[in-house]
Amino acid sequence: MKKRLFIDTGAWVALNNKKDKYHQDAVKANRDFLDGGYFYITSDYVLDETYTLIRLDVGHKRAVEFGYEINDLRKKKKINVFHVNQVILDKAWNIFEKYSDKDFSFTDCSSFAVMEMLKINEAFSFDKHFDQYGLIRLPLP
């Protein structure tokens, strides 16, 4: 069974934006993860955020191309896009409400909730919030 890895917005954006400061690190890590047999999990909230950021930073055309790539990966069963439901929303809200000392976005909180529900503790991310919440962020900083 492949090892599951949650992929966050920052990793998607870095992979799709050659000007992103993490682009080279993301490309190398992505290659290493895929060669290492990792299977990516993401969420519809993460993709929502990602499409918007790619559109703003790279352009509409690239955002649409990325959307097609995600749909193709889903059809080929090479990625699982988890859809946030009411259970996850409630859990995300509890996290968001509890951690007033952190600047977690609500999308971060929904990602943490998805990861907890699926029992995944590693994320392909450049976001320190995953560390702060007690998850393992890869590639290691």
The reply to whether 58 falls in a domain is: yes
pLDDT at 141: 67
Whether residue 117 is contained in a domain is answered as no
pLDDT digit string, tens, across residues 38-74: 999 999 999 999 999 999 999 999 999 999 999 999 9
Instruction: Tell me if residue 79 falls in helix, strand or coil.
Output: strand
- With respect to residue 66, please indicate whether it lies within any of the assigned structural domains: yes
User: Domain of 38: which CATH number?
Assistant: 3.40.50.1010
Rounded Cα gap, residues 84 and 98, in angstroms: 20
